Amino acid sequence: ETNTLPFHPFEMQQGDILRMEKEHQVLKEQLKEAQEKHEQLQSRSSEEISAVNELLKKSVEETEVSKNELNWFHQDLEMKVKKWQQEKKENQENLKALRNTAKKHTDTNDRYLKAIDEKEKQYNVYLNTYLETSNKFANEKVKLEELIKKSQDDCQECVKRAVKAEISILQNWKEVEAYKLNGRAAKAEANLKMLKSLGSSASAPPKLKSQIDSWEKYISDVKKQLEKVETEYEEKIEMVKNDVRNCLTKVEIVDLPSP
């Protein structure tokens, strides 16, 4: 209001506008002097420019020739650079792959070395255990061999006794069955003898002959059964003597009904 405060935003402090106007006037005077000097220099330089243009024209022609040669050189250089970059890229990729492979091999080698150390420690432990166990088993083996020999002797003795027992059992079965069949045959022969004595009399009944035939057939069947039983039991006894197993079974007897 009294022009005593800075006029923002054009003044930072009082009097900045006046100072800027004075500086502007000085710059205008300096610009005028510079324009005059420029006109003088331009007049002198026009002649020099014409001479330089001649030289420039000649240089341009020479440069054009050199430019062509340079283009050829650039093309050749670009091809070589591209080839070199391609080879560099391939070499870098190969180097990277080789480094990865080397790292993998190194890691694998470290793992194998560590595993080998652990396996070697385990092997030493197992070896010591094996040696101790082997010595223990060797001693036990000697004892077991002695026991096996003794057991084999006992087993052979038991086998002999078992064979004798089986033969004795089969012999007893054969004698029992033979006793039974011989008893039946003896009774049948007594009956047959009685029937034959009755058949010699004149008052013998007509059916007596058929009864005599029946008893004779019965006696024949009993004797065949007896022969079969004795034969089969003897075969079983021979099989037991020849070390055949599972022979201790009774011979099947056919129940023959008497007439």
Look at residue 190 and tell me if it is in a domain: yes
Model confidence over 129-169: pLDDT tens digits?
A: 999 998 988 999 999 999 999 999 998 898 888 888 988 99
Look at residue 177 and tell me if it is in a domain: yes
CB 166 within 8 A of CB 242: no
Q: How far is CA 22 from the centre of its chain?
A: 99
Model confidence over 188-216: pLDDT tens digits?
A: 889 888 888 876 665 566 677 888 888 88
Look at residue 61 and tell me if it is in a domain: no
- Which of the residues in the chain have pLDDT under 70? 1-8, 10-11, 14, 199-206
The confidence score (pLDDT) of residue 160 equals 87
The confidence score (pLDDT) of residue 103 equals 92
Look at residue 111 and tell me if it is in a domain: no
Look at residue 83 and tell me if it is in a domain: no
Taking the C-alpha atoms of residue 251 and residue 249, their distance in angstroms, rounded to an integer, is 7
The confidence score (pLDDT) of residue 206 equals 67
CB 226 within 8 A of CB 178: yes
Taking the C-alpha atoms of residue 127 and residue 133, their distance in angstroms, rounded to an integer, is 10
CB 214 within 8 A of CB 227: no
CB 258 within 8 A of CB 218: yes
Tell me which residue range forms the domain holding 162: 152-198+206-242
Taking the C-alpha atoms of residue 149 and residue 22, their distance in angstroms, rounded to an integer, is 137
Look at residue 168 and tell me if it is in a domain: yes
pTM: 0.42
Contacts of 7 (CB under 8 A, 6+ apart): 17
> In the structure encoding, which two tokens stand for residue 214, read together?
């029946």
Look at residue 15 and tell me if it is in a domain: no
Q: Where are the alpha helices (DSSP H) in the chain?
A: 16-199, 208-241
The confidence score (pLDDT) of residue 210 equals 81
Other beta carbons within 10 angstroms of residue 256's beta carbon come to 15
The confidence score (pLDDT) of residue 77 equals 93
- Give the residue from 68, 92, 88, 69 showing the smallest Cα distance to 80: 88
Other beta carbons within 10 angstroms of residue 105's beta carbon come to 10
Look at residue 257 and tell me if it is in a domain: no
How many domains does the structure of the chain reveal? 1
